[in-house]
Structure 1
């Protein structure tokens, strides 16, 4: 599955604080159910029934209001001569940008053939090589001619080329996910070959480096360094014990140095003479690493964004050119400065001696484009808040205005309380409060506790707390429930609240069971680890006594719940594994009343006594109450979501909700009596591609 091509490709430039022009409602996106033949769609109403619904079912089912969120976020970065080359993420197909390092400006861009981005980039023989996802292609770009060549595909759909490096003789090496392999490309012969998986059980080769004799693969989640003999292909781990997940790696001066877990590891090519340097307490990992001509090692920490210089067995802070940002790469320049690339779309130059820096904001350039949506919520006055990569955009459709507020991560979840917007960020787990009118952001704190990905968030009005569900990093199982006190800016974390499972979703039923929260689990945890339990479960959690009351597996053998909701004493859920399976469970007896299948998975909402499922593939269904089969309400919305699709409902008397059509913000009519569908029907998404997004 490829995401649809960029809407309005080449749309106007975007300022750092304000999104480009908001479009007038586009009725061209409206769809009706007549003549569609969509799976399960009822026949058009006739006679008296038609007359009763004709008024509210007239007009477009979908009204679009311009691009929901823009991005210039980057993933891959490399340097060739006087230029840097960066690859955008979230744009389909990916955009490769060339930056003149002397002038400090973007000079040209070129499109690759397919994919959503490219984490990996390197240079060899005056050519730029890029590895992409979610189809793991290897490309070559010739700066002289501007030609782009697809060299080959090195894994299944849903895979990543996570890293690239170049050996001294010009041979290019790649590390991949999910098969954890190392591949070799010879520019001299054009031969691409698979050198095999680095380590059984390790899905990621997340970092890679090469010298004259070996290529070194840094794995994740456990963190081995596996050395491949470049001549014979023989391989073996040179780590006496795993150091923690790999993030970056280099081979210089007869040493192999990299960021692994909470350490910088420095060892000889055979694994001997290992020196393990703890990173500063404020950091979780080292994002990028490099060394200068005199052998000085520099690295960048996450989450602070601080550049450190190695001094013996200590890391000494230098400066933070882009604080609280992820970093994709770090390079020494001939003039003594360091060049860095941040995930938000900032490229910076740093004087490591004086600490002064300059920054290029790619969001201000033609690298900016429509972004897959992370999250969405409706605020007072009809404001719609949209989470994108490193930003929250506040749209006011009635006024035709938008404002982009940078944040330090991906807002996986957005909610409102009063006139404020609250976001739970990945990968830092920071919870922030935004004042959308003033553009101000303040922190409520970090979930931490070995968590990485916020998965759901709701506001418990009775206790004035946000409840946040979260998952751990890859290689771990235990998720958490967090209660966020917005008044005191205090987070209380209940780690492993569902034993050996991520917490994927939350639901409240204040009317029938006041003070009880229901939590849904995922036995896969953060992925890349063997589950410890056979079935995903639901637990009831007492918010007053702060304890689990009971636990049940709605359907035995199903590994991952994606989302749950409660209506009138019945808990509704949709599974990610087996994808699209839904159920309705009586909370008193804890027995499943009904179940069925949707084309994919997503999120559930309750509105006006009905239960809706918005799922990947651009589909909205109704699954309750008292339905034996899911009934389509709206289809043909495209693939504009990065995370599972969400709905933000308007007032209680309305059948309208805000969502996404393609990559545009859209107002959707979801009246169950006004079924609307795209004439093309529905195409279930590629689950391997959806699964791969969790690795990103």
Structure 2
């Protein structure tokens, strides 16, 4: 790791200039510079008259915390055993598992696994619960009778997922994994765990899995094959879907048939692939989240994004009810008495009476299964120091009033990957729906501007252009696709205009607006990996200049050859700064007129950039913030020791009138003093995160 140096005259912005900004501030107690964003303040600045001013502005803690930033009861894997539902919390470290009594609907007990962030997969066999975890792809067994938790083994590399589990009629447990797209077998009778190999070359996900007496079936993603293995020999038999129907999301074997939710279709076919019946999923849905078959042989499916439960009637899917609208579903299970149980990703369980159509729902956060949420995004109202801070969590927005010591949690439909505050409203770009929301936290109101769609899935960056009253949204496609998009959000008209593939065959990872007078250009950062799970077709990530008046790309340029993924960019004074994800932490500054690279360097990892008071900052995974410029020959550490409280690349939400920004320390909301004149962070606390874990955090 490179050595960190103190600020000096060679940094391009002298200590005297920075001190002069502080000295000119009106409220002396706040030590707030008067120079606005986008200005360097290097002309006519004078140093303070001694060290007392600097000492005053740098007094007190550099990091002040205000309690948990966001609470969650979000869940992933879910299974029913006897009269209990077992749910695995998401984002808790180590994973938290809750046991819910299906009669009393109370949390009866909870326990922790050994390591990881959660477990997408769960199944039952022989009176035991089996859980598959991430980003350490471990297989666990839980004995409800004794409370014993056993880690059976690890079935992939660090950063991997056990995406799905199923139980064969004889009790054998099968698992599907990412990123190697393998099928694994565990026989409880012998304790033997074996790898049956990759399902399909080029498919990184086994996203659905099912088994009958003779075969185990693996549903792949992104293309969507169903691959069979002979259970007796473990030999891979090949695909029974020569023409893929789309990525697998759910799979089951029942009554001598294999039934799969593949893309926008429900596919019912014989074990050898013959007699295929393809039923379109209703137009309102993008996929089927979960399926089950009740004791009378009826198939039920729950759709995303509406959350509607459908009943199969011949070759049709008929709507039954919507117990939890606008949410992801982790499981659908039959219960006695013609009832269904649904497990909702945001942290809810619902009961549906199929005879009457009535439903009940409980919030797991209310029954005691909650914990600190890895933060999705943060925004500050920018009106006053401290002020109001909005924190995006999993299906929630928490609005904090730090000066009052109060906060309010509001349910929203998805994960707000990016947020901006304009005129007191929070604008949020949502995953996985691509819905764009206008939120009024004070009144608890949400207004939808619609969906980006256009084969997009993950919002990556959001910028505001006051002159046009436009919000610019950068997005990436889902797994298996390369083409990202730039979306122009017209606040007044509440419309979305999508420019797909604006950087050919790349995701659009970030958007920055030229800060020079008269320029109406947005710069876009690309990622050749797209949504992942498909080979890139371009060798290096590029930057594209997009004219906001003509709505055309003016030019495209590769800043540094050989770097595949450009995570984030910002612009200051005609210089574009960027940090790469691949190779992680490699950063540069480029003159926008000549496209000459002015400087390159290396950070411990990647994250987001921001501009404040004529300075460029990088907040990166591993819990540190650096200053990159202007004019610095290498990055300079500003603060460290913030921990890993972020789900997405770390962000900073600046107060307009001070050197303070809001972020996260571990999983607490934190106010950070990032004044370059003050002592910098402790380089000994800087650590490089495990790249595989970073990748797993950003997986679908």
Shorter-chain TM-score: which interval? over 0.9
Cα deviations by residue, 1:647-675 (Å, 9 ceiling, x for unpaired): 011124x1111111000000000011213
CA contact (8 A) 1:90 1:371 kept: yes
Structure 1 residue aligned with 2:345, among 323, 343, 346? 343
Cα distance between partner residues in 1 of 2:480 and 2:292:
27
Alignment partner, residue 476 of structure 1:
481
Match of 1:209 in 2: 210
The correspondence for 1:670, drawn from 674, 677, 698, is 674
Q: Write the distance in 2 (CA, Å) between the matches of 1:139 and 1:41.
A: 47
Instruction: Give the one of 306, 327, 330 matched to 1:328.
Output: 330
After TM superposition, the score normalised by the length of structure 2 is 0.92
Provide the residue aligned with 2:696 in structure 1. 692
CA distance in 2 between partners of 1:49 and 1:294 (Å): 84
Matches within 5 A, 1:287-302: 287-302=289-304
* Alpha-carbon distance between aligned partners in 2 of 1:49 and 1:521, rounded to the nearest angstrom: 47
Give the whole-Å Cα distance in 2 for the aligned partners of 1:152 and 1:632. 40
- So what's the TM-score if we normalise by structure 1? 0.93
| CA apart distance, 1:360 | 1.1
The corresponding residue for 1:256 is 258
Task: Describe the SS at the equivalent of 1:689.
Answer: helix
Deviation at residue 202 of structure 1 after TM alignment: 0.4
Task: Find out whether 1:485 has 2:529 as its counterpart.
Answer: no
1:114 is aligned to 115
Counting only pairs closer than 5 Å after superposition, residues 272-311 of structure 1 correspond to structure 2 as 272-311=274-313
Q: 1:193 to 1:48 in 2, by over 3 A?
A: farther
Is the 1:131–1:162 Cα contact (8 Å) retained in structure 2? yes
Q: Deviations over 1:464-486 (max 9, x none)?
A: 11110000000000000001122
2:612 and 2:654 in contact (8 A); partners too: yes
The residue aligned with 1:659 is 663
Q: Please tell me whether residue 449 in structure 1 is matched to residue 413 in structure 2.
A: no
Q: Residue in 1 aligned with 2:507?
A: 502
The answer on 1:398 being equivalent to 2:413 is no
Q: Is the 8 A contact 2:515 2:573 kept in 1?
A: no
User: Partner of 2:30 in structure 1?
Assistant: none
The alpha carbon displacement at 1:437 in A equals: 0.6
Partner of 1:187: 188
How far the C-alpha of 1:254 sits from its partner, in A, is 0.4
Q: Which residue of 1 aligns with 2:105?
A: 104
* Farther-moved stretch of structure 1 (51-60 vs 614-623): 51-60
Cα deviation for residue 489 of structure 1 reads 1.9
- SS at 1:691's partner residue? helix
| SS across alignment from 1:363 | coil
TM-superposed deviation, 1:512: 3.9
Q: Deviations over 1:478-536 (max 9, x none)?
A: 00000112222211100111100000000012424521111000000000110111111
Q: CA 1:549 to 1:679, structure 2 compared with 1: closer, same or farther past 3 Å? A: closer
Alignment of 1:612 onto 2:623: no
Match of 2:58 in 1: 57
Cα offset for 1:677? 2.4
Is 1:525 aligned with 2:530? yes
- Partner-residue secondary structure (3-state), 2:365: helix
Q: Deviations over 1:311-357 (max 9, x none)?
A: 11111000110000000010111111010101010100001232110
Task: Report the alpha carbon displacement of residue 49 of structure 1 after superposing the two structures with TM.
Answer: 7.1
- Provide the rounded CA distance (Å) in 2 between the counterparts of 1:49 and 1:648: 31
Residue pair 2:375, 2:393 contacting (<8 A) in 1 also: yes
Alignment match, 1:135: 136
- Mapped to 1, the partners of 2:521 and 2:684 lie a distance apart of 43
Q: Which residue of 2 aligns with 1:247?
A: 249
Deviates more, 1:435-444 or 1:658-667: 435-444
Take 2:101 and 2:107, find their aligned partners in 1: how far apart are those partners? 6
Match of 1:40 in 2: 4
Query: Does 2:427 correspond to 1:422?
Result: yes
User: Does the 8 Å CA contact 1:38/1:678 hold for their aligned counterparts?
Assistant: no
| d(CA) in 1 for partners of 2:515, 2:583 | 30
Task: For residue 108 of structure 1, report the CA deviation from its aligned partner.
Answer: 1.0
The reply on whether 1:219 has 2:220 as its aligned counterpart is yes
Partner of 1:34: none
1:167 and 2:131 equivalent?
Answer: no
SS of the residue corresponding to residue 423 of structure 1 reads strand
| Distance in 2 of aligned mates of 1:43 and 1:627 | 9
CA contact (8 A) 1:512 1:568 kept: no
Alpha-carbon shift at residue 42 of structure 1 (Å): 3.0
CA contact (8 A) 1:38 1:681 kept: no
Which digits, 9 at most, give the CA deviation of each residue in 1:627-686, with x for residues without a partner?
11101010110000000000011124x111111100000000001121332474211001
* 8 Å Cα contact 1:580-1:597 kept in structure 2: yes
Q: Is the 8 A contact 1:39 1:682 kept in 2?
A: no
Q: Report what 1:388 is aligned to.
A: 393
Q: Residues 684 and 364 from structure 1, CA distance in 2 versus in 1: closer, same or farther, beyond 3 angstroms? A: same
CA deviation string 1:599-639 (max 9, x = no partner): 10000011111110000000100111011110101011000
Deviations 1:294-320 (A, max 9, x none): 211100000000000011111100011
1:590 and 2:592 correspond: no
- Counterpart CA distance in 2 for 1:121 and 1:195 is 19
State whether residues 515 and 572 of structure 2, in contact with CA within 8 Å, keep that contact through their aligned partners in structure 1: no
Q: Cα gap change, 1:477/1:43 in structure 2, threshold over 3 Å: closer, same or farther?
A: closer
Rounded Cα–Cα distance in structure 2 between residues aligned with 1:359 and 1:41: 56
Contact 1:385 1:395 in 2 (8 A): yes
Residues 38 and 393 (structure 1 numbering): CA distance in 2 closer, same or farther, change over 3 Å? farther
Contact 2:647 2:698 in 1 (8 A): no
Tell me if structure 2 keeps the 8 A contact 1:41–1:675. no
Deviation of 1:38 (Å): 9.8
Q: How many residues align?
A: 658
Deviations 1:387-437 (A, max 9, x none): 000001000101111011111110000111101101100000000111111
CA distance in structure 1 between the partners assigned to 2:7 and 2:393 by the alignment: 38
Does residue 628 of the first structure (1) align with residue 633 of the second (2)? Answer: yes
SS in 2 for 1:53: helix
Ranges in structure 1 where 5+ consecutive residues have no aligned partner: 1-36
Q: Distance in 2 between matches of 1:498 and 1:72?
A: 38
For the residues of structure 1 that align with 2:545 and 2:7, how far apart are their CA atoms? 41
What is the CA–CA distance in structure 2 between the aligned matches of 1:143 and 1:49, rounded to whole Å? 68
The aligned counterpart of 1:358 is 360
TM-aligned CA distance change 1:601 to 1:608, over 3 Å: same
Match of 1:684, SS state, is coil
Instruction: For residues 85-144 of structure 1, give each alpha carbon's deviation from its aligned partner in whole angstroms, at most 9, with x where no partner exists.
Output: 100001101111111111122211111111100000000000000000000011111111
1:234 Cα deviation after fit: 1.9
User: 2: CA distance between counterparts of 1:364 and 1:38?
Assistant: 47
Q: Tell me the SS of whatever aligns to 2:593.
A: coil
Q: 2:449 is paired with a residue of what secondary structure?
A: strand
